[in-house]
Structure 1
């Protein structure tokens, strides 16, 4: 048998994914909340990465000495109060909320189209329900918890508020109210933070906890005095908490950085 040497030219196509491309695709599939957590984890693990932080001036919340309070004129208080009314437009901020309860509606959920191309998904603006269902599927939940989550997400208003009580959901899924509250606690910390809350107070308090605002006074203002803030009852609040108008304005600015309607930005 004779041995023969031959040269062959073979053409083939091969998809090569660089580490950078793999990482880019992975990051594109993350929600804003998951992306933030990933970046924070990378900052902890990689000593060569640095976070560019904006310098934020922290105002010292100190009580005005008694001598200065005596010297303060009514005109000065009026100026600060007028500025509060100008900057804190609580009618627009809280005017969408009503004390009347809406009739519970169990709606059919809207999810992203399965056959959508990758490019289309990048430009497609998801609905609130679709965005939450996507996060629900990625969570580590039992079948019962997933069923509860689906009912919760299916009963949200266009602004992200839950329109069914925990007991109603428990009756539908045939479980306990405690099981519903446990799942609800997780969903309220999905992106957008504060979604599936039942009241404006609950919505803002969830965001306050997530962003680690630890001042107990701002929690009390949100929990017990949102109506006072809406009605601009500033002086009684200052007397109650023994703070100045400037200090109250600092708390108002902090509260107005939160979003009372987290679901409104979705289609």
Structure 2
């Protein structure tokens, strides 16, 4: 090793601000891009924003095509709801208690989490209120009579018990199971419970069915969050046995140069003002170019996907073909990450309904004839098979592997079946078993 000055030529990728902006614009959804455009217009006076306007004829056509089965945008309107604390405080107003008890109950209500459970240890709350644990228990018991049932619980076990005790018909067995055998019940050690309580497995099964109707988080029904309403940016339309792909231009505002401000700034004698105008004009031009590139990329990706999944869109019984981001990237000559950004949070209006572009990609599994089958098709077969299985003898993952091999000529590992089952939210065979 030695010290010295050397000349060396290297290549490196420099991420400019404009390139970073173009990447962000590509991955934005229509709503996010609209917000971004408005933010830029506040920072740059040379940006002139024109909001998209639909003609009366287009509006009429849109409403005329909405059937009873299709959701209306009104269905996604945000409805203001009272919070859990508001609901409980309103019930407290109608309760005949002393002024001191009202203060203590109010403090207790504000000590609840959004899901309805106590946010801190009960002992700490009693210390804050400077009352004994016995007095605190009496106070908490009062809160337990409020709606929704189960509010004010210290843990899941107490929450379930409170709901069982509030039912019209008594459920002594369910209360016993939850009170004394909660852990064994949760881990499905039902034989052990049935022997200790001298009941049948069928009765434990009934308890399980009853517990499933209870709400483990009673306060969440009052959490009010707006449901996002998405609109398709791409339309895939059948035409003479083929598919046409086009962009919905009326979703995103169009932008241009504000020539009035441009002339004022350029006509200024101040060199700093002229430099400022030049910089802002470049920003507008780059933003317009980035949005146009985003549109072109979406069209290319949409056309490539439509070409690969043509059978799925045109036929009612068509299945999704295995398709990867890499295949589309190679076809349209872009990087795989570009396709990923162009399909995330982007929706298409297709003959199969509104679909997120990302969901049209699926990994492949080779069958015994060398043909590829999409993982999505395998999941659909699994759902159909499990829905018709004998619940007393549910199919194990190994049996599902055998069935796919014999009936669908598709070889899948047991580990893959377990993975697909988890993705579908289907429990294991031992947890699906009914007595």
TM-score of the aligned structures, taking structure 1 as reference length: 0.50
- 1:149-186 per-residue CA deviation (whole Å, 9 max, x = no partner) reads 11111111121101233432232222332222222111
**1:129 paired residue among 59, 77, 85:** 85
Q: Is the 8 A contact 1:128 1:266 kept in 2?
A: yes
Deviation at 1:213, TM superposition (A): 4.2
Structure with the greater alpha carbon radius of gyration: 2
Distance in structure 1 (CA, Å) of the matches to 2:99 and 2:136: 13
Which of these residues, 94, 119, 125, is aligned with residue 163 of structure 1? Answer: 119
Query: Could you say which structure has the higher strand fraction?
Result: 2
Cα distance in 1 for partners of 2:128, 2:197 equals: 44
Q: Which runs of 5 or more residues in structure 1 are unaligned?
A: 1-122
Structure 1: distance between partners of 2:156 and 2:106: 22
1:181-219 CA-to-partner distances (Å, cap 9, x unmatched) read 222111111110110110112111111111144343221
Q: Which residue of 2 aligns with 1:50?
A: none
User: What residue number does 2:136 align with?
Assistant: 180
Show the 5 A alignment for 1:1-267: 124-267=80-223
2: CA distance, partners of 1:213 / 1:226: 21
Moved over 3 A (4+): none
The count of corresponding residues between Structure 1 and Structure 2 is 145
- Quick one: distance in 2 between partners of 1:180 and 1:146? 13
Deviation at 1:256, TM superposition (A): 1.9
Query: C-alpha deviations, 1:217-242, integer Å up to 9, x for none?
Result: 22110112222122111222222223
Q: Which runs of 5+ in 2 are unaligned?
A: 1-78, 224-435
1:162 and 1:148 mapped to 2: Cα distance?
A: 14
Q: Which of the pair has the greater relative contact order for Cα pairs under 8 Å at 6+ separation? A: 1
What is the RMSD computed on CA atoms of the aligned residues? 1.8
Q: Give the Å deviation of 1:262.
A: 0.7
